Structure 1
Amino acid sequence: MIEIYTDGAASGNPGPGGYGTILRAGQHYKELSGGFRMTTNNRMELLAVIKGLEALKSLNQQVTVYSDSKYVVDAVEKKWVFGWVTKNFKDKKNKDLWLRFLELYKLHQVKFIWIKGHNDHPENERCDRLAVAASQNKAELAIDTFFEAERNRL
């Protein structure tokens, strides 16, 4: 059983943002984080999950994702995202990330558990610190190319 804890942050929403992810399997523990110069909180929440799933080295793993994002958890657990796919994400945001997520999701047995954010949950608090720190590291902020292109198009 693999546990993935996630959190995303954005200052200004949109603004500088980051994700934090913790992977835990038995005695194995890994932290991941990254920041972007212009993005949204929802994108970072979803990207945190994606980065966790991308880090898995074997297929068909049993994975439990813990997230404080109702956006992400409900979209998957209530099966909304699958309806969005059939409608080609009409009027939905973050199509690029959802498609990337779904490619990973089908490779494993993934379930989501929502946890209340900023509620002294140790892993969630750590992911929050990772996400915020990544969003504030101005020297290493990446470009969220899809988001910035979409934003400039509107």
Structure 2
Amino acid sequence: MIEIFTDGASSGNPGPGGYGTILRSGGHYKELSGGFRKTTNNRMELMAVISALEAIKKPNQTVTIYSDSRYVIDAIEKKWVYGWIKKGFKDKKNKDLWLRLISVYSQHQIRFVWVKGHAGHPENERCDELAVAAAKQANLPLDVFFEAEILKDKLF
């Protein structure tokens, strides 16, 4: 059984953003984080889940993901994302990350648990600290897909 705790943050929406995640299994504990110079909170919520799942080395694990993101949880549990895929993500954002998430999601047995953000949940608070710190780093990389979408919208 693997427990994953996640959070995403952005300063401005869009703005500099980061994600933080904790993986815990038995006596093992790992923290992951990263950031981008211009992104959105929803993209960072997705990246937190993706980065954690991609860090799992063995397939077909039992995983519980604790997240404060209704966007991520509802899209999966209410199966909205599968409708978005069928429609080619028409009028939907974050196609690149949703496809990446579904690819790694299908490799495990996953259950989501919603936690209220900024409500004193220790692991959620730690993930928020990781996400905010990642967003404040110098020389953040581009969120290439996000910035390409902005440019496309401005040109067309």
Shorter-chain TM-score range? over 0.9
Specify every segment of 5 or more residues in structure 1 that has no aligned partner in the other structure, as ranges: none
**For residues 51-90 of structure 1, what are the structure 2 equivalents within 5 Å?**
51-90=51-90
Name the SS of the counterpart of 2:113 in structure 1: strand
The answer to whether residue 13 in structure 2 is matched with residue 24 in structure 1 is no
1:95 matched residue in structure 2: 95
- What amino acid is aligned across from residue 143 of structure 2 in structure 1? D
- TM-score of the pair, normalised by structure 1: 0.98
The answer to whether residue 15 in structure 2 is matched with residue 7 in structure 1 is no
Superposed displacement of residue 152, structure 1: 1.1
Specify every segment of 5 or more residues in structure 2 that has no aligned partner in the other structure, as ranges: none
**For residues 26-41 of structure 1, what are the structure 2 equivalents within 5 Å?**
26-41=26-41
Superposed displacement of residue 138, structure 1: 1.7
Superposed displacement of residue 65, structure 1: 0.5
Superposed displacement of residue 45, structure 1: 0.1
Superposed displacement of residue 59, structure 1: 0.3
Superposed displacement of residue 4, structure 1: 0.5
Q: Count the aligned residue pairs.
A: 153
2:152 matched residue in structure 1: 153
User: Residues 86-144 of structure 1, C-alpha deviation per residue, up to 9 Å, x if partnerless?
Assistant: 111111100000000010011101111111000000000000000000000123x1110
User: Residues 38-61 of structure 1, C-alpha deviation per residue, up to 9 Å, x if partnerless?
Assistant: 000000000000000000010000
**For residues 84-123 of structure 1, what are the structure 2 equivalents within 5 Å?**
84-123=84-123
Equivalents in 2 of 1:104, 1:21: separation in Å? Answer: 16
Equivalents in 2 of 1:153, 1:87: separation in Å? Answer: 20
Superposition RMSD in Å = 0.6
Name the SS of the counterpart of 1:12 in structure 2: coil
Equivalents in 1 of 2:35, 2:46: separation in Å? Answer: 13
Equivalents in 1 of 2:82, 2:3: separation in Å? Answer: 23
- What amino acid is aligned across from residue 126 of structure 2 in structure 1? R
Equivalents in 2 of 1:25, 1:121: separation in Å? Answer: 18
